[in-house]
Chain A
């Protein structure tokens, strides 16, 4: 362990200069990091943010002097506390890893070895680097578990990774990183895989422990609100370049670059709330189970969807929100209850519905990669529903496809493309056009923006709103993202463990008084305010 007198706050700990990293794709080396400088002081937390392809994980790992297989450092220097990690031998780097620089990965479940006890993995580095005796290391690990507020800190280490929850495992990994009191910890999207209500506890635990031990950290994430809680300073990356760098509060207050501003702007989309008494789709007391099992995935669910409005169904994983969509489309016939459309009861099973009913309810999926057949061109994908439902053939079909492409703001040159020849956002537009082609009354959107980068999300949401204005279409919008709900919904349905907790107008659901679960859910969503987490924790402890 580094002795405490060496840890003077304000000294430069890590200095990266002119770093370039190439990555291999399709047997060619392409630049991932295109010349970046980075300076990190002792005890400082630096946030790296950017969208997919920005190179933030690669840069974070380079802070350890590590390049993943298929990546190589081509030029630049990485200086950690006086040692050049690029020039250092593998042995020298390994001596630092775990003891002075530690890593916390995104998926704790995959990053813990399934064959060993949690505590043995926690203290492995401390023992193998001869930093502590086994007894001392184990006692220390139990202390760290307690500080990280893990339940049963004295015994949880004796469990195996698959025996504890994802949020607990993520905290155990933080304890593992902290076991040698490193100077630097790299957090690589550590809460991305967690539900929001779990995320709060993990964020708080990680922030506290880093503060307690005055550890420097690089915190990698795509979520601005999260990084605002964790970091003292933020670097914005895009396509392997640095866009902007500033202290957290400064950057939140006045970003200087257009790209950074556009990242902030996402949260500003706001749809004026409308309502109607004309119910187009109504779900009444529906139960559903998978495989005839005893546990209900949907438990007495009732939802009313007014014509021409956007109803958002929000909930965490396992809440039953996607199952609701499957029940409405007939893929999973309810075991109890009815679903009516335009006042008439829908046949429960898909096979018993006529073609016109099928046409009127369309669906858009989360991932356009799996929703679009990779072996069909845009012409086939959009043209098929036109032919199938409306009988359009040949030139008439083509003309309509081009019109639809214009509706989704793509030009006719896209008509002969395969999905693999388009970007994520363009593919999602094609999915929307395919649904529109059927001229439906209702479109079910299942997490349609979750797989997309923030700026693209914004564009897709705006497109959906524009189309609603033009055609008075009704959306059932399934999502776990409260920010999206805030932006686009008229009404909100909150679901938890297969039950509807609350349904009402947006203005009502998003404002007090809240049912207990809605309050927990809403309060757990990170805000851009850097004091949000501190404030929330204070409020919660006061209550208890």
Chain B
């Protein structure tokens, strides 16, 4: 359909600054996105200021095991008498920190390889793509379990293994979006001008593939975060005594059968954050895709 409204566009209004643009976008954000952003902000505050916000320290034993909630221990105590509420707050710092770090490494490795493969094509692209295809045929959780069995459980191992596995997924996506950008005439135009690799990558391609990659970062973060939580829950991820939400669920799981919802708190903490991130990502997707369902 021809709904091109660009023709009578002689006098455009004055330039908007980036901040004005962001403010304008925020104004149109739906409630779900606002909810998501506020939740993420609260989590970030708790993660950064954990030592000041938690009433007790991470591993301080303040009472008997499995005590119910009281004025000293808001949500009760865990299996060796540590304050659940304080550990929940420290958990934000540890669990989110590990997931963010892992996702960053994954994007650094997968993203740069993906863009490079899209630009260079040829044997590099073929080689990396085939290896990645093989890795994609193994579910991440299964592969991570196997590798952890081989190299042993530790936070560093966990981060490296998950980052590399996740990088295969990031590679696929960044290669695909970069391929879309690489075939654009403005990239060809830069090549014809005689521009070097650096210019083409950082001035022509990267600025154009950043929006989808940022959205993907949110989704990959959720995935990594949930995988780490699952591995910790299974007892092979983050190891005690570090406060971590997945491990905390596992440590207190027997309480459920006695009708005590204590293990649900850390699980809910995980769920709330991923739901929040998903709401924000959903809004981003809606904004950037330009494809509205209603059409």
Task: Please tell me whether chains A and B touch each other in their complex, using a CB distance cut-off of 8 A.
Answer: yes
* A388, CB-defined interface residue at 8 Å: yes
* B15, CB-defined interface residue at 8 Å: yes
Q: In the complex, which residues 264-295 of chain B have their Cβ closer than 8 Å to any Cβ of chain A?
A: 292, 294-295
B203 contact set on A, CB distance < 8 A: 373, 376
Q: Report how far A57 CA is from B2 CA in the complex, Å.
A: 7
| A385 to B, closest residue via Cβ | B193
Is chain B's binding surface mostly helix, strand, loop or mixed?
loop
* A311, CB-defined interface residue at 8 Å: no
| B9 to A, closest residue via Cβ | A423
| B28 to A, closest residue via Cβ | A27
A131 → chain B closest CB, angstroms:
30
- Could you tell me if B208 and A363 are in contact, using CB atoms closer than 8 angstroms? no
**Contact check: which of B6, B185, B193 meets A367 at CB < 8 Å?**
B185
* B22, CB-defined interface residue at 8 Å: no
| A367 to B, closest residue via Cβ | B185
Q: Report how far A23 CA is from B292 CA in the complex, Å.
A: 13
B287 → chain A closest CB, angstroms:
10
**Contact check: which of B7, B12, B192 meets A358 at CB < 8 Å?**
B192
Known: A370-B184, A375-B207. A423 touches B6 (CB 8 A): yes
Q: Report how far A68 CA is from B295 CA in the complex, Å.
A: 8
A114 contact set on B, CB distance < 8 A: none
* B31, CB-defined interface residue at 8 Å: no
B280 → chain A closest CB, angstroms:
19
A53 contact set on B, CB distance < 8 A: 2-7
* B60, CB-defined interface residue at 8 Å: no
B197 → chain A closest CB, angstroms:
11
Of B4, B8, B204, most A-chain CB atoms within 10 Å? B4
**Contact check: which of B6, B10, B186, B294 meets A24 at CB < 8 Å?**
B294
**Contact check: which of B2, B10, B208 meets A373 at CB < 8 Å?**
B208
Known: A365-B189, A370-B185, A375-B207. A25 touches B5 (CB 8 A): yes
- Could you tell me if A69 and B186 are in contact, using CB atoms closer than 8 angstroms? no
B185 contact set on A, CB distance < 8 A: 365, 367, 370-371
Give the interface size bracket for B toward A. 20 to 34
A421 contact set on B, CB distance < 8 A: 9, 12
* B194, CB-defined interface residue at 8 Å: yes
| A424 to B, closest residue via Cβ | B6
The interface on chain A, measured as residues whose beta carbon lies within 8 A of the other chain's beta carbons, has a size of 50
Q: In the complex, which residues 16-62 of chain B have their Cβ closer than 8 Å to any Cβ of chain A?
A: 28
- Could you tell me if B194 and A371 are in contact, using CB atoms closer than 8 angstroms? no
* B133, CB-defined interface residue at 8 Å: no
| A417 to B, closest residue via Cβ | B12
A144 contact set on B, CB distance < 8 A: none
Q: Report how far A60 CA is from B107 CA in the complex, Å.
A: 49
A408 contact set on B, CB distance < 8 A: none
B112 → chain A closest CB, angstroms:
19
- Could you tell me if A329 and B208 are in contact, using CB atoms closer than 8 angstroms? no
- Could you tell me if B294 and A423 are in contact, using CB atoms closer than 8 angstroms? no
B223 → chain A closest CB, angstroms:
28
* B191, CB-defined interface residue at 8 Å: yes
Of A25, A373, A376, most B-chain CB atoms within 10 Å? A373
Q: In the complex, which residues 411-450 of chain A have their Cβ closer than 8 Å to any Cβ of chain B?
A: 416-417, 421-424, 434, 438
B221 → chain A closest CB, angstroms:
24
* A6, CB-defined interface residue at 8 Å: no
* A54, CB-defined interface residue at 8 Å: yes
Known: A52-B2, A53-B3, A56-B2. A329 touches B192 (CB 8 A): yes
Q: Report how far A32 CA is from B5 CA in the complex, Å.
A: 9
B126 → chain A closest CB, angstroms:
14
**Contact check: which of B2, B5, B7, B189 meets A371 at CB < 8 Å?**
B189
**Contact check: which of A52, A69, A331 meets B4 at CB < 8 Å?**
A52
Q: Report how far A363 CA is from B189 CA in the complex, Å.
A: 8
- Could you tell me if B204 and A373 are in contact, using CB atoms closer than 8 angstroms? yes
A392 → chain B closest CB, angstroms:
15
B28 contact set on A, CB distance < 8 A: 27
| B5 to A, closest residue via Cβ | A53
* A374, CB-defined interface residue at 8 Å: yes
A544 → chain B closest CB, angstroms:
39
- Could you tell me if B195 and A388 are in contact, using CB atoms closer than 8 angstroms? yes
Q: Report how far A384 CA is from B1 CA in the complex, Å.
A: 36
| B13 to A, closest residue via Cβ | A421
* A30, CB-defined interface residue at 8 Å: yes
Q: Report how far A367 CA is from B189 CA in the complex, Å.
A: 12
A370 contact set on B, CB distance < 8 A: 184-186
| B293 to A, closest residue via Cβ | A69
* A70, CB-defined interface residue at 8 Å: yes
Known: A53-B7, A363-B192, A371-B189. A24 touches B2 (CB 8 A): no
A441 → chain B closest CB, angstroms:
15
- Could you tell me if A68 and B1 are in contact, using CB atoms closer than 8 angstroms? yes
- Could you tell me if A373 and B186 are in contact, using CB atoms closer than 8 angstroms? yes
- Could you tell me if A358 and B294 are in contact, using CB atoms closer than 8 angstroms? no
* A47, CB-defined interface residue at 8 Å: no
Q: Report how far A137 CA is from B4 CA in the complex, Å.
A: 41
- Could you tell me if B186 and A372 are in contact, using CB atoms closer than 8 angstroms? yes
With contacts A32-B3, A56-B2, A365-B185 known, what are 19 further pairs, Cβ within 8 A? A23-B1, A23-B3, A24-B295, A27-B28, A53-B3, A54-B2, A58-B1, A69-B294, A71-B1, A330-B192, A355-B194, A362-B192, A370-B184, A370-B185, A371-B189, A375-B208, A416-B15, A423-B7, A423-B10
Listed A/B pairs (22) with beta-carbon separation below 8 Å: A52-B7, A53-B2, A53-B5, A54-B2, A57-B2, A58-B1, A58-B3, A68-B1, A69-B295, A71-B1, A329-B192, A331-B188, A331-B192, A370-B184, A370-B186, A371-B186, A372-B186, A385-B193, A417-B15, A422-B6, A423-B7, A423-B9
